[in-house]
Structure 1
Amino acid sequence: MSILIIAEHHNDGIATSVLSTVAAAKQITGDIHLLVAGTSCQTAAQAASQIEGVDKVLVAENAEFNNITAETLTNIVVANAADYSHILAAATTFGKNFLPRVGAKLDVQPISDIVGVESADTFKRPIYAGNAIATVQSSDAVKVITVRGTAFDAVQPTGGQAEVVSIAADGLVSDKSKFESQELTTSERPELTAARVIISGGRGMASGDNFVMLEEIADKLGAAVGASRAAVDAGFVPNDYQVGQTGKIVAPELYIAVGISGAIQHLAGMKDSKVIVAINKDEEAPIFQIADYGLVADLFKVLPELKEAL
């Protein structure tokens, strides 16, 4: 039994979500192969070969794979799927973008966002915004799965000595879509899904200008800045700040929720945080039910005091 993991990378390295996906694959048991597809991705392939638990790295390199589309990546995966019992990717935007298409091409039912492995054919995944955990058993010949990274402790990025093998990469470019452009938000702060500390604001922040207070505290703590969907929908901050069921799933060591009432969709994205601190003037706010520490106070008085204390 062999497991194929599709690695998210940026040519010069492997995304941290891959490390958690490898951890999930190790619980399934079997040889673990990583597929690295792209242009000039040898550095990423070498980094992948050092990941603990990886047995082989497959490299699909082609000049036409720069800014690879979901359709083209699906073609690469399907062309190499015959030897694998499981095909995995992280439940990030990257994995969610192409893996359902892989399932359709292979005529199997994908299992999304798993948080536990019971056996080679049985997995646990959250439903009802994380309020219940479903145990799903699959009889498909190949299991197509996305993995929630926060549910598995990442393996070490070094210590492995996997074989690196080049595979055929010609004739796999799809003409169904093409890459036009992208606009990326750059920040010196940690990425939300990888941050040890996150401070998030909600509708209670009142305006986007007030998020400066959170950013100043985040800079002192080395934290990432997040937001609830209400804050994003109100235009306070960009979409990539959103934490929750329809945003990013996070599990930092410390999560500070400021002016966030605690809608179930937001809680689904951060309730696995190690320590949760809530600041809200409404003592009945649902966020206090899961918070380890709660402060009922006006955030516009508390945040300046917190900044001064830091």
Structure 2
Amino acid sequence: MSGASSSPPDRGRERFKMHLSPTQAKVVAMSGGDASPARRTAGSPAAVPVILGVPVIAWQAVFFAAPLVFLVVVTFWTVRSFKLQPAFSFDNWQKVLSSTPFQRALVYTAEVSALCAALTLVVALPVAYTIAYRLSRRLRDLAVAALVVPVFSSYLLRIYAWQIVLSPGGIVNSLTRLVFGIELPLLGGQFSLQIGLLTATLPVAVLILVLAFSGVDRALIEAAANLGCRRVRIIWHVLLPSIRNAVLLAASTAFLMSFGDYISPVFLTGSKPPTLSILIVDTVKSGSQWPRASVIGVSMLAILVVVLLALNWLGRERRGRKGAR
């Protein structure tokens, strides 16, 4: 057979088209029925995810990966006469990591974030349990909507509102002076800081746990109840083990959100003692030390990555033990 002759599939397609009316042939042509195999492969559904993923990858590369790489590069630069000078030196890393203010801010930030994660779980678990199991479907939908709304509202406005409420002339102290004749030092300490952080972390954690509680097989709960288990025992031995990964996710989310928070420490504690985010701003203000501020920022990112990897390993380890049983 010569190279100019058509292949069997092509001859079959031509015979099929000979029996079509002009209208049917037009429909087949518009639908791509006579397209070549290469053309059909290029327009196949398998190529759609790749095409749709290109803008996302480009966005992440331009607005996340590139600035992050530049931030790491700046850590090795120097500042002379308040101007950045490209260089390659580890002096910034040595001075920042060995400085007492950085070490104190790191310990304080870690303590605040760990406490925020613990408080978030203490409050979010009973709230999520109540929403998932104790409310009717209509009230549950309203509660979930009420949790979603604050996520899309301004965090700065919410913290500013807490500053007004907790201030010496705010609502709380006005009531305590009127009723008890005393004024409570609510603003400027750990109490006000945790309230501000919980304002951001609680809605997210509760939503995560509500979804986890809703995914638990009700047959397990009914079986435990039929065996005589009380509600507390069911929660401790059935529900919590079933949502262990969601609990880790909620705790890690609260830790990450509070670790890099800047607004709450500034508005509710007066920046004293400083957290790492506040230390970054103070470092930039003192002689335009952008390289040292970049060192602090990269260190924060590295710490958060380590925390995420540790939690991921912990979740895998527990799943492995559960599977081995």
TM-score range, shorter chain: under 0.3
Q: Which has the higher strand share?
A: 1
Q: Which has the higher helix share?
A: 2
| Structure with greater Cα Rg | 2
Report the TM-score, using the length of structure 2 for normalisation. 0.19
Higher relative contact order (CA 8 A, sep 6+): 2
